Amino acid sequence: VPGKLVGVLMAGMLIFFVGGTVIGVTPLRNLFGAGAGPAIAVAPAPAAPAAPAPPTAAPAKPAAQPAAAQPAAPAPPTAAPAKNLPRLPQPQMAAPLNRTAPATVKLEIETKEITATMADGVTYTYWTFNGTVPGPMLRVMQGDTIEVTLTNAKDSTVAHSIDFHSVTGPGGGAKATQTMPGGRTSFTWKALNPGVYIYHCATPMVAHHIANGMYGLIVVEPVGGLPKVDREFYVVQGDFYLQGKRGDLGHRSFSVDKMLDERPDFVVFNGSAGALTGENALKARVGETVRIYFGVGGPNLTSSFHVIGEIFDRVYPEGAGQPLTNVQTTLVPAGGATIVEFTVEVPGTYVLVDHSLGRLEKGGAAQLIVEGPENPEIFKAPPATGAVAQGGH
């Protein structure tokens, strides 16, 4: 298209064209670097389109009966240039519980809709729990009674709700919490089964709400807690479906067709491409034990979760009570979660991926940066002569 700026992801490079002429190339290689800078480097500012269009869809008013809320309101095609918006902040993590007896716990959660950067030059209007994707990591104990209060921000465009996979009861709370903008709902449940569970919005079209970022993890600790580790991390994968072509810049709306066809534009950890890299990378010291609570919000893809350069000493598959040992890659279903643990023995940058590696090119990578003394007995590489400087796998 003459004069139109197009960005294409190819072979780890983001390549920009105007009218068939390459005007810029941005390497993604610092995913494998020493941790400096964002995973996907700064892209040139997008050219302004001729006619600015409204930045977000004018949403239909929520139906009076939230459970029957209409499916995805058709959004206007991709249009206005991305403003220089920040990424969503990283989600809150819940510390291990330091108690040994069940209690009554209050969880207050707010749903809100926020426009933020999904990848350099691309913004998106997320639907969130507490303003982050994933929503906050929650933590309770087996035997706890949990009083959930859900509020939906006044300026939300649609109803929202919450379904905890940790709940025993109809809809996991979804029916009790269909909440109109400005509204407030609540329900109470008892945590019967320990594990790590997805929670998500369950307002129709449910897959649309999930595709906009409405998911998170709740850990139900067994009485007495999980074994102590030095570092805990919280990572959730999600697939995003945007109108327009791959590499289009600007503000992009949800594509119901791509979501139904399961053709995501972005597959990311914690809400945006490169969210957990550079400054926001996971960090540990040589000799420490690491635990990652890893979930898949979906809505569609399963994840072949792998850490490049590490072996999971223990995996609690799908959050199960008994761990497997010595695992390279663990399958995590959509709407599922796992706990992996390992000790880091060698300094360097380790990359968390979904080993369906086409998704790496769609943003699916996070960094674990391990600092500390070299450990040549376990790993040593002689100085390179003529080797490719970068590479990962």
Nearer to Cu ion, 138 or 150 (CB): 150
Q: How far is the CB of 254 from Cu ion (least distance, A)?
A: 12
Binding mask 180-219 for Cu ion (x = CB under 5 A): ---------------------x-x-----x----x-----
Report the residue closest to Cu ion, judged by CB: 201
Nearer to Cu ion, 165 or 209 (CB): 209
Q: How far is the CB of 93 from Cu ion (least distance, A)?
A: 22
160 binds Cu ion per the rule CB under 5 A:
yes
Q: What is the 3-state secondary structure (H, E, C) of 318-362?
A: HHCCCCEEEECEEEECCCEEEEEEEECCCCEEEEEEECCHHHHHH
Q: How far is the CB of 92 from Cu ion (least distance, A)?
A: 19
Q: How far is the CB of 157 from Cu ion (least distance, A)?
A: 10
What residues between 283 and 342 interact with Cu ion by CB under 5 A? Answer: none
Nearer to Cu ion, 157 or 243 (CB): 157
Nearer to Cu ion, 115 or 145 (CB): 115
Q: How far is the CB of 384 from Cu ion (least distance, A)?
A: 50
Q: How far is the CB of 161 from Cu ion (least distance, A)?
A: 6
Binding mask 120-159 for Cu ion (x = CB under 5 A): ----------------------------------------
Nearer to Cu ion, 5 or 201 (CB): 201
Nearer to Cu ion, 80 or 236 (CB): 236
The contacts of residue 244 (CB under 8 Å, 6+ apart) are 77, 78, 250, 252
Q: How far is the CB of 328 from Cu ion (least distance, A)?
A: 36
What residues between 78 and 117 interact with Cu ion by CB under 5 A? Answer: none
Q: Alpha-carbon distance 367 to 282, whole Å?
A: 6
Nearer to Cu ion, 121 or 172 (CB): 172
Residues lying near Cu ion in the complex (CB under 5 A) are found at 160, 201, 203, 209, 214
